[in-house]
Each structure stands twice: as C-alpha cells, then as structure tokens.
C-alpha cells in the first residue's frame, strides 16, 4: 500500500519538541526555509524511527540513499538531533563517503586494475572491512568507537586522531550514501558507455565491471539496514549543479587557506560522470525498496512524500 503526500497539501503533522533551530541552522549554514521543510515533511520520519527503535529495543540502522548534493548529510544530522531532543535517543550519523580508501590505496588499485579507480566514488573505492568493523562496534560492543572521517578537500582519509569518537552501543545509526541499498547492474547494461568519460577512458568496460562486481560485497551491510529513506532527484542532470553548490559550501567552510583544493565547475563536470551510471541505476531500481521516498524537484525542494513500505 502506497501513501502519498503532495506539496500542495498540508501534512497535518509537524515536528514537535523543543528543537534548537537557531543553533542547528547556524551549524549547517542553512536558511530558515530548512526549518519549514523539516516541520512539514520530516515528522513522519522522526515518529516512525523513534517508534521502531522503542519496539525493537536494540540499535536501529537507518539508511538514506540520494545522489550527490541531494541533502543526505543534512537530513542525517537533523534526524540525529531530533531523536535526541524529542526522544532522548543517542544517534550517530555515518557517511559512506567517510569510508573511502586512502589516496595511497586508491593509487595502488589504479595501477593494479584500472586508472579510473584512483578517483573516489564507485564501489570498490571504499574500505568494506572498515565499514563492517565499525558497524559491528556501534551495534554490538560497549566502549568507545572511532568513526572514520574523510577530508574531501585533501582527497584522503583523516588521521585517526580526527575521527569521531562515540560511546557504544548507540540507539540509532544513521547511514547515508549515494549508492546505499543498490544491487549490481544487470550485465547487459554494462556494455554501453553512459557518458564521454566511460567511452574515452573505459572503452572495454574494465572499470565499470570491476565496480559492479565490488558492489556485491556491500550487500551484507545493506541487509543490516532496518529502515530506508530516499531523497530522489528528478534526473541525473541536476547532479552537476547541486554538486557545484556543495563545493561552494565546502569552499566557504575551508576559508582562504585550503580553498585551492576545492574543485572548479569544470572539474566537477568530469567528476560527476564517475557517478552517473550507478546514480541512474539507483533512480530506476531503488524506490520500491524504500520505506519513505522524498521526491525532489530541480531546485532540490521536496514536492512529494511516498510511504512505499510500512515499518518492519
């Protein structure tokens, strides 16, 4: 059964609780319109996650799928804060991006398999063993857990001293990533290049076939997710613009000392081509797996919410 809420109608439910809006908006460089979005659209999400956690009485894993620049990390941060303020739950946000292989490891992989694997992004460029051990520590062990962090400006994993430390087990793990929940593509889809980058730099398909095969190793981790959310872009054409906005925000946060490490619009145009194939496959194949699907418009505004599956 699918329940749909359109942008033109009132949700009838708003986020309740003493939420520190001024602090949250400032911390994440957001305008006041984000509060309006959250109060309108995210109440069902917070309620369902809290209810499921109380019922299961164990660490709950929430997965957020969405393309680059769709707002995954901001939503994850909001969920963590809202669960703490409204339900007194301890939640941690974890990004797939923070588990990229180090630059040195990706360079070694590029020499061994294919030069395009030096660029972070596709399955096969993440440290799956580190993801697995971090998940296990957060969900089943007691004590301090180090959650890795990746520095996108430096294109490398930070030193362990800079990792996020949190006491485990936690009540809720929010895991966000651009290809979360995705199954490998059918083999026949791999034969044709989807853009100029693939046609020119991966004409025989070695890179895309390697990434597709590597995606199979992520499946046991995806199966640990209890509750799925998707921020669905209308199409892949939005990704370049959204990624440019994301890079501008990163540049502002870094300041003059490291701004030169931020990608230019031309560099972003090439970079997003690494993500195109699996992003389009995600938009085609993922929605039916989701519990909540937020359909975005080209301005990244939510225009529709669909409840595609009931809570587990």
| Residue 1 belongs to some domain of the structure | no
Is 242 within the bounds of a domain? yes
Q: Which domain holds residue 32?
A: 15-307
For residue 43, tell me if it sits in a domain: yes
Q: Answer whether residue 5 is part of any domain.
A: no
pTM: 0.92
Count helices and strands (H / E) in the chain.
12, 11
What's the pLDDT tens digit per position in 188-197? 999 999 999 9
Q: Find how far residue 134's CA is from the centre of its chain.
A: 17
Going by C-alpha positions, the residue among 63, 91, 226 that lies closest to residue 164 is 91
Measuring CA to CA, which residue among 209, 177, 169 is closest to residue 193? Answer: 209
Half-sphere exposure at residue 304, Cβ-oriented, CA atoms within 13 angstroms: 13
Question: How does DSSP classify residue 297?
Answer: -
Q: With beta carbons less than 8 A apart as the criterion, state whether 116 and 214 touch.
A: no
Q: What is the pLDDT of residue 255?
A: 67
Q: Nearest to residue 275, comparing CAs of 230, 217, 208, 221?
A: 208
Q: How far is CA 276 from the centre of its chain?
A: 15
Q: What is the C-alpha separation between 203 and 209, in angstroms, rounded?
A: 11
> Residue 1: its pLDDT value, please?
53
In the numeric block, the tokens 């499946």 are attached to 219
Indicate whether 312 belongs to any domain: no
Distance CA 133, CA 135 (A): 5
* pLDDT tens-digit series, residues 155-165: 999 999 999 99
Maximum distance among all Cα pairs of the chain, rounded to whole angstroms? 56
Give the domain CATH number at 71. Answer: 3.40.50.300
Q: Are 27 and 37 in contact (CB under 8 A)?
A: no
Instruction: Please state, in angstroms and as integers, the Cα–Cα distance from residue 298 to each residue in 35, 136, 244, 263, 308, following that order.
Output: 20, 38, 14, 22, 22
Is 137 strand, coil or helix? helix
What stretches in the chain show pLDDT beneath 70? 1-2, 8-17, 255-261
DSSP 19: -
- Overall number of domains in the chain: 1
pLDDT at 183: 97
In three-state secondary structure terms, 296 is: strand
Is 6 a member of any domain?
no
Query: How many other CB atoms are there within 10 angstroms of residue 40's CB atom?
Result: 17
User: Is residue 258 domain-resident?
Assistant: yes
Of the candidates 101, 86, 228, 91, the residue with the CA atom closest to the CA atom of residue 157: 101
Report yes or no on 246 lying in a domain.
Answer: yes
């Amino acid at each position: 059964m699918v329940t749909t809420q359109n942008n033109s109608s009132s949700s009838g439910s708003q986020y309740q609780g003493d939420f520190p809006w001024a602090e949250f908006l400032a911390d994440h460089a957001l305008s006041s319109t984000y509060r309006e979005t959250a109060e309108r659209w995210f109440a069902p999400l917070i309620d369902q996650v809290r209810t499921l956690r109380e019922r299961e009485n164990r660490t709950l894993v929430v997965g957020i799928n969405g393309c680059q620049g769709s707002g995954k990390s901001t939503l994850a941060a909001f969920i963590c804060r809202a669960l703490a303020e409204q339900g007194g739950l301890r939640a941690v946000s974890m990004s797939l991006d923070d588990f990229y292989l180090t630059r040195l490891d990706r360079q070694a992989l590029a020499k061994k398999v294919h030069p395009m694997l030096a660029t972070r992004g596709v399955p096969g460029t993440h440290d799956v063993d580190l993801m697995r051990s971090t998940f296990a520590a957060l969900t089943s062990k007691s004590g301090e857990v180090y959650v890795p962090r990746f520095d996108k400006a430096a294109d490398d994993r930070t030193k362990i001293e800079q990792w996020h430390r949190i006491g485990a087990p936690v009540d809720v793990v929010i895991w966000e990533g651009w290809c979360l929940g995705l199954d490998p593509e059918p083999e026949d889809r791999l034969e044709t290049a989807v853009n100029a980058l693939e046609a020119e730099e991966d004409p025989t398909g070695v890179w895309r076939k390697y990434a597709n095969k590597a995606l199979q190793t992520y499946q046991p981790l995806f199966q640990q997710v209890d509750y799925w959310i998707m921020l669905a872009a209308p199409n892949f054409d939005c990704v370049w613009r959204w990624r440019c906005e994301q890079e501008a925000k990163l540049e502002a946060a870094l300041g003059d000392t490291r701004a030169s490490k931020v990608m230019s619009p031309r560099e972003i145009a090439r970079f997003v081509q690494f993500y195109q194939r699996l992003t389009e496959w995600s938009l085609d194949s993922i929605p039916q797996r989701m519990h909540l699907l937020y359909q975005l418009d080209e301005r990244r505004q939510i225009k529709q919410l669909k409840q595609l599956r009931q809570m587990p």
